[in-house]
């Protein structure tokens, strides 16, 4: 009887809005067998579209014609620079509080940019699109200023001759990336660009539903993405692999680490997904590109992919749980030499497109999001009793 009740409880457990449909969108579709951005399947986009094309698709609503793409890219390039006042604050945080998480710095930068945006409080479609494109263009610059300052280097200006992904890497390092490195980053941005009503997007839409401004919605999205159960999982997945590698190099094995993790119920990051029970469509795509890059540019990094494959096989064999995109992301960015704390800000550099598409959709067809809760507290009682 107890087992039946427990089973029923699990079947009806809707904490975290599990399995609940709370709205509709034309931006993205996520299900067991497909991930689509406005009708285009993710593998098709990763193979054939650039990130700028995907950004246009999400923000403006259709695949760009060549002349539309050229205009869109030119406009983004013209928006990349950030005001000196914002740059100075980012540098001050890096110099005076280097332990501050880059996501906190990025949240502050977006908030500062809002104060300098003349259409910040305007929620009409044209103003929202302008603000969306400005943030898309400026976020890589903000990330780069912070990382260069942390490295004790003078930040560089955005390079108008580089595409979005390559410019992001340039801003972070001051070095023009190799073509293969820029391609891998471009693919990762495409894969991370959008994912329907995930926690950060839902947060952004809830804020938008109050008629708050787009910058406030994005700040909320950044706050939600920062958590290690959401965007921060790519950092946590790489930190876990580093822990396993240290154990292996000390004479243990990945098998021993994993079995101990199972026994102690240690949270293993980069695995499982609320929707994809049979595997994340994006994970295999990013692993292939990351391994290809490692083979071509950094053979010494292949050991991380070998270890990742071993950990993945154990997880699948013993728990029947597949990796999500955050698992290969950690290995791929690590192979590229990107500091682990910057993984989630790079996620923002991609997901800003999805967030803004949803914010605009919410603003244009709005009703405040106000769900009900099931009360599980005390029954009515008298204060004087």
Per-residue pLDDT of 348-357, as tens digits, reads 999 999 999 9
Per-residue pLDDT of 362-371, as tens digits, reads 999 999 999 8
Residues annotated as part of the active site: 230, 273, 326
Q: What is the pLDDT of residue 2?
A: 45
Q: Does the pLDDT value for residue 22 go beyond 90?
A: no
Per-residue pLDDT of 141-156, as tens digits, reads 999 999 999 999 999 9
CATH of 233-335, one of 1.10.230.10, 3.40.630.40, 3.40.50.2000, 2.140.10.10: 1.10.230.10
Across the range 319-337, mean pLDDT stands at 92
Q: What is the pLDDT of residue 301?
A: 93
Q: Does the pLDDT value for residue 4 go beyond 50?
A: no
Domain residue limits, the chain: 28-227+346-364, 233-335
- Please state the separation of Cα 33 from the chain's center in Å: 21
Q: pLDDT higher for 215 or 18? A: 215
Q: What is the pLDDT of residue 230?
A: 83
Q: What band does 260 get if pLDDT is binned at 50, 70 and 90?
A: very high
Q: What is the pLDDT of residue 274?
A: 66
Q: What is the pLDDT of residue 33?
A: 75
Across the range 116-135, mean pLDDT stands at 97
Q: What is the pLDDT of residue 233?
A: 86
Q: Does the pLDDT value for residue 337 go beyond 50?
A: yes
Q: Does the pLDDT value for residue 9 go beyond 60?
A: no
Examine domains 28-227+346-364 and 233-335 and report if their fold is the same: no
Q: What is the share, in percent, of the chain residues with pLDDT greater than 90?
A: 83
Across the range 212-231, mean pLDDT stands at 94
Across the range 250-275, mean pLDDT stands at 90
Residue (of 362, 363, 354) closest to 136 by Cα position: 354
Across the range 38-46, mean pLDDT stands at 96
Q: What is the share, in percent, of the chain residues with pLDDT greater than 70?
A: 95
Please state, in angstroms and rounded to a whole number, the distance separating the CA atoms of residues 155 and 173.
Answer: 9
Q: Does the pLDDT value for residue 208 go beyond 50?
A: yes
Reported CATH class of domain 28-227+346-364: mainly alpha
Q: Does the pLDDT value for residue 10 go beyond 90?
A: no
Kindly report the average pLDDT of the chain as a whole number: 93
Q: Does the pLDDT value for residue 15 go beyond 90?
A: no
Per-residue pLDDT of 162-189, as tens digits, reads 999 999 999 999 999 999 999 999 999 9
Across the range 104-121, mean pLDDT stands at 98
Which of these ranges, 67-71, 215-219, 234-238, has the smallest mean pLDDT? 234-238
Residue (of 107, 115, 167) closest to 137 by Cα position: 167
What residues does 271 pair with on adjacent strands? Answer: 323
Burial class (CB in 10 A: 0-12, 13-18, 19+), 147: buried
Q: Does the pLDDT value for residue 1 go beyond 90?
A: no
Which of these ranges, 11-25, 72-86, 193-207, 325-339, has the smallest mean pLDDT? 11-25
Which of these ranges, 261-270, 273-282, 315-324, has the smallest mean pLDDT? 273-282
């Amino acid at each position: 009887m107890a087992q039946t009740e427990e089973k029923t409880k699990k079947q009806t457990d809707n904490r975290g809005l599990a399995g609940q449909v709370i709205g509709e969108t034309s931006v993205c579709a996520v299900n067991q067998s497909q991930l689509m951005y406005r009708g285009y399947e993710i593998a098709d986009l990763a193979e054939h579209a650039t990130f700028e094309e995907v950004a246009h698709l999400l923000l403006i609503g259709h695949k760009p014609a060549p002349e539309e793409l050229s205009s869109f890219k030119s406009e983004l390039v013209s928006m990349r620079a950030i005001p000196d006042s914002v740059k100075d604050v980012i540098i001050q945080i890096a110099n005076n509080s280097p332990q501050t998480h880059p996501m906190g710095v990025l949240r502050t930068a977006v908030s500062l940019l809002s104060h300098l945006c003349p259409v910040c409080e305007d929620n009409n479609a044209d103003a929202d699109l302008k603000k969306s494109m400005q943030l898309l263009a400026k976020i890589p610059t903000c990330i780069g200023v912070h990382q260069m300052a942390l490295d004790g280097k003078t930040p560089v200006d955005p390079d108008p001759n580089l595409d979005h992904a390559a410019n992001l890497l340039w801003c972070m390092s001051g070095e023009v990336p190799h073509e293969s490195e820029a391609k891998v980053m471009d693919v990762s941005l495409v894969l991370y660009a959008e994912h329907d009503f995930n926690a950060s997007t839902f947060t952004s839409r809830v804020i938008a539903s109050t008629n708050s401004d787009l910058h406030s919605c994005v700040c909320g999205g950044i706050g939600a993405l920062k958590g290690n159960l959401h965007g921060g999982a790519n950092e946590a997945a790489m930190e876990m692999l580093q822990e396993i590698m240290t154990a292996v190099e000390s004479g243990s094995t990945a098998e021993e680490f994993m079995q101990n993790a199972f026994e102690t119920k240690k949270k293993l990051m980069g695995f499982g997904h609320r929707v994809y029970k049979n595997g994340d469509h994006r994970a295999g795509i990013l692993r292939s590109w990351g391994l290809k890059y490692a083979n071509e540019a950094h053979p010494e990094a292949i050991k991380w992919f070998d270890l990742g494959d071993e950990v993945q096989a154990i997880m699948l064999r013993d728990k029947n749980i597949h990796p999500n995109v955050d698992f290969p992301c950690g290995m791929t960015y690590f192979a590229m030499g990107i500091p682990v704390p910057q993984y989630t800000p790079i996620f923002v550099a991609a997901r800003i497109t999805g967030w803004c598409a949803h914010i605009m959709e919410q603003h244009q067809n709005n009703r405040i999001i106000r769900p009900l809760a099931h009360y599980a507290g005390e029954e009515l009682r008298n204060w004087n009793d």
